[in-house]
Amino acid sequence: MIDWASGKGWLTAGGKRLEWAAWGARDAGPVIVLLHEGLGCLALWRDFPARLAKATGLGVFAFSRANYGQSDAGDLPFPVDYMTRQAKDVLPEVLDQIGAARFVLMGHSDGATIAAEYAGRIEDFRVRGLVLMAPHVFTEPMGLAEIARAGEAFGPEMGARMGKYHRDPEATFRGWNDAWLNPDFASWDVSEIIDYLRIPTLVIQGQQDQYGTMKQVEEFETRSYAPVDVLALDDCRHAPQFDQPEAVLDAVHFFTGRLMAHEAAEPEGV
């Protein structure tokens, strides 16, 4: 189990040494576990985790996956099903080491997909809710085109910017970009996981998201057996936590508060 009181440290999951940090109190309620995007990492959450802990009153935990931030190098090239593998092979070990009784998984982009895949594929009653920012469960031509443009734009200048946050920026970029531009990725579709969700979900989507459309959100609304709340934000691209932070914080505060109130309520007749 990690030493939560230390605020940061290292853990081992999936055979890799991963950096982590924590905010707030672990025993205040369900711990919100943040899962970063395809080019994100622990440091690139910036001050959002601290603000999230303050807004919700809950403990917040974040970590960098292998090949990101200061965590160990990942195994390249990433396979087409790399998000599924993260959900099945790595995230369970991370959650076990946090040492909390309850969790809310909150992911952004790739991290949102990993969170949804975990909830749809792994029976873990500790996970009580999902917050998914800009999730993707199938490919869209406009998203693939944007990723291709990013690949063309990657060079020394972008690598230097990324080097402020990632120990090997080229490996970080290529792991993500090459996987998405693999010809086999055009038919990637994990939307069947939604059919197995049995916990409340909050989906947050920017109306101007350059990587995905509201079709991703509609898939959750129409296929999930559990309640799905949607926050569609205008003047918002792919990163709602930075483009519209107050709206995101308010929505997560309300969502987690309702979760805790529901769990605290006694069943009728008791």
pLDDT at 269: 47
Q: Could you state, in chain order, the average pLDDT of each consecutive group of 10 residues for the chain (270 residues)? A: 96 98 96 98 98 98 98 96 98 97 98 98 97 98 96 94 96 97 96 97 97 97 97 97 98 97 70
3-state secondary structure of 244: coil
- Please give the radius of gyration of the chain, using alpha carbons only, rounded to the nearest integer: 18
Buried b (16+ CB within 10 A) or exposed e, 72-89: bebeeebebbbbbbbbbe
CATH architecture group of domain 4-261 = 3-Layer(aba) Sandwich (3.40)
Per-residue tokens: 47: 């001050």
The Cα–Cα gap between 270 and 260 comes to 18
Question: Which pLDDT score, from 0 to 100, does residue 270 have?
Answer: 43
pTM assigned to the model: 0.96
Where exactly are the structural domains of the chain?
A: 4-261
Q: Determine the pLDDT at residue 263.
A: 83
